[in-house]
Amino acid sequence: MLEIRNVLPADEIRLIVFDLDGTLIDSKKDLATSVNAMLTQLGRQALPEEIIATYIGDGAGMLVRRALGDPDGEALVEDGLRRFLDYYREHKLDHTYVYDGVFSALEALKTMPDGTPRRMAVLTNKPVNPAIAICEALGLSPYFFQIYGGNSFTTKKPDPEGLRTLIAEAGVKPEETLMVGDSDVDILTARRSGAWAMGCRFGLSSHTLESIPSDCLVDAAEEWAEALKQTIAPR
């Protein structure tokens, strides 16, 4: 159920930036399969899919590091990351799908209440090439003027560099921007950028959302547009 903590100014939000994994798409099975392929190649025991899901959200490097038990040796992490990415590039679309309601929600959000086009983008910690390929294959790309990944900048979320870049490219203000994501990383990114924040409780990392207050929480993509129906003066 939609939970409004701070009413979003629908007539002021000119840019919406979405996380990818756990927000637009359910990629848990393909990520878990790729992690376990890497672990098997390294002679390690496979992990349950639900455990791997809790490691997602901070980029491929951290996913691999966590799956390996946070080893001291960087060489092992680098080797594991290479193996993971090699496998994931070939299997990233085996089971990954767009969450129910996403396309209809994007259609509803692409224009503001007065009919003015609203810009939308993707900012993910997933490497940018797989992110772009997935968005293109699943029909998401036409909705976004930009797709940035975890290696598009020198930093990753929750550093605000990526979101601030999108804000500048869209020609809007931070208070005219909404970040939508399923983890505390996304909420913190919004807070550090001065943007509004919406948390998705249906996502892969939703267990982290309560650690940083968001402006609203949703249980389904259909609620994105509903959260923007009310209007108040901007902060």
The set of catalytic residues is 19
Residues whose CB is less than 8 angstroms from the CB of residue 231 and which lie 6 or more positions away in sequence, other chains included: 7, 9, 10, 11, 12, 113
Residue 219: other Cβ atoms inside 10 A: 13
User: How crowded is the C-beta side of 224, counted as CA atoms within 13 Å?
Assistant: 29
CA gap 18, 181 in Å, rounded: 6
Amino acid letter, 36:
N
What residue spans of the chain are helical by DSSP H?
28-41, 49-53, 60-67, 74-91, 102-109, 128-137, 161-170, 184-193, 223-227
Amino acid letter, 179:
M
